[in-house]
Structure 1
Amino acid sequence: MRAIVASHPGDASVLQIADAPEPRPLAGEVLVDVAAVGVNFIDTYQRSGVYPVSFPFTPGLEGSGVVAEVGGAVTGFAPGDRVAWCSSLGSYAERVTVPAHALYAVPDSVDLRTAAAVTLQGLTAHFLSSSTFRLGPEHTALVHAGAGGVGLLLTQLACARGARVITTVSTEEKEALSRAAGASAVLRYDQMPDLSADLPAAVRELTNGDGVDVVYDGVGAATFDASLGSLAVRGMLVLFGGASGQVPDFNLQRLNAGGSLFVTRPSMGHYLRTEQERAWRAGEVFSAVASGELNVRVGATYPLDQAADAHRALESRGTSGKVLLLP
């Protein structure tokens, strides 16, 4: 079979297509014929060495496909089943073995490309809006990168919970996408010369001077100061990614001065700790997709052998919605 292999850390050019041995499922594993692979920022962090991995390695934590074979001691899955996953490394390949406990059954009402596009980011948006900060009609949220993969899904789930959503985007096209997802106001940070001052001022103008209850920030270094400045008293900054770079160390007294603020850095694994929690979150996400309540936007698709181009597109922040690789 073919797989993408990075022999050493570096820029996107280290991603090369290669022939790889046919995988076989061990006990507790399932062999899957891959239909689609989700491309995520964590893949770029691992490829570049920001997150340590052992090289050479095949990137990719997320995908969907059809079960080809099950290993020993596997129950609940059989050849022909439609499945998705978001926490099994090595998904940039034509076939992959996945631990059975990491698989989610995909209902027939959800196509496999959509499943690959929504699993990681949909589960992320779910735990952010329902658990990290449980949104309700009394809340106003600021969502950075509102036209990104997580941003579009998070906006829709937040609005479904009755919250008011303000987003940031960088282009007119992305503004339209964000408004279509339910944002009540969209701020163009590309039009703000001093983001750390201009964005909080714009947010407070929209909130009667109060600021927002929560900021969902997956951008990181470039937006961190503006995010803190946009919070209301006792507001929470949910820092769930670092697309622009990692946030440097900061003085905790800034939280006191800003209004007894909270900052959290959530990780998906801590919100998918039990079989019951995984089933609950995935069930709600796939049900919302099947009912049409949650619209999943696939912004771009690339053949597997163009994985480097997919990474470049994602890192340029020129994409909207989800980027997929198609083996």
Structure 2
Amino acid sequence: MIKNLKLAAISKDGIPVKDTIENISNIRSRIEEYSLSWLECVVDDVKTDSKEIAKEFGIPLEPASVLGGYYSNYEDAGEVLGITVPLIKFSGGNVNSLSVLIYIAKDKIISIHDEEAEKLLRLSGFAEGIMKKLPNSKELWADRQTILFARIIDEISERNYDTLRLIVEKAQTLEIEMTDERTMNEDITEEMSNIKRSIITFLTAIWATHTTVHSLRYGDPEMLSDKAEILSRFDIILADLDRQIQLAEQVLEVLATGVNVVQTNITNRLSTIILWLTVMGTAVLVPNTLATVFAIIPNPSSMFRELLIILLISTLLASAIAYLGAKRVLGSKRRKK
């Protein structure tokens, strides 16, 4: 179901237009009146509801084929360009990828996303401002829509960078908690695993976006400008995506170090437990063994004092030897690791 339709356009006289459309069937004829129009469609489900929108505007590219890529995709049908870009949401310690479907035809841009993406993006907020700055000459139609399209992609990239900042803040909090042995527990270990999965998902989505933007930059699609100064806007976006990838990889390295810290702490605790279990076992086993031996002696009660001294000294000596031996063995294993 289509929830909301927002139109931002520039008239043939160069006047910016901003409007909310109630019915999609009323917009197609109006769009032809503008030198450039951008229709932002907010829907319940991008995969199903985009079919109705594509049919209404006679778009030959099937939404399923454009959305069929791995996080991001790029389909060029000559007169229509279809792009899917992921908008990444971080909530509850988990990352979700929300698809933003964009169609570009001559003098028209149609973006389709769901309400979750709408809460993060709010694309229409900058529409009127950028429309005023676009060239209005009829011959510059490709330049106009390329500038606007690059701005939309840049806005999505900025929102993804905000998501990355949230992930980094969470990772830094976990790093601080890991330095305190008192806070080491199963919850932190689970949170670390969730953050690691989130970063890997983020990296995968951003790499896919990078590939798509690179294809747009160098693929020479008909619906985009071929002027170097216009296409350089995509170079800026690619550089921003590279920075996001580098930062995410650095956080992964920090988490890998944190995992080593957790493993070291667990190993130390287990070693301590094994050490004292060895000492306790020796302290129990030696007296029992000696008591069995002493039972063979005729009339042991006459030698009670001597046997007690032997028992105590033997137990203490055996426990000390067990302590030193276990500590040496466990210490050598830790050094090897």
More helix by share: 2
More strand by share: 1
TM-score with structure 2 setting the length: 0.21
Relative contact order (C-alpha < 8 Å, sep 6+): which is higher?
1
TM-score with structure 1 setting the length: 0.21
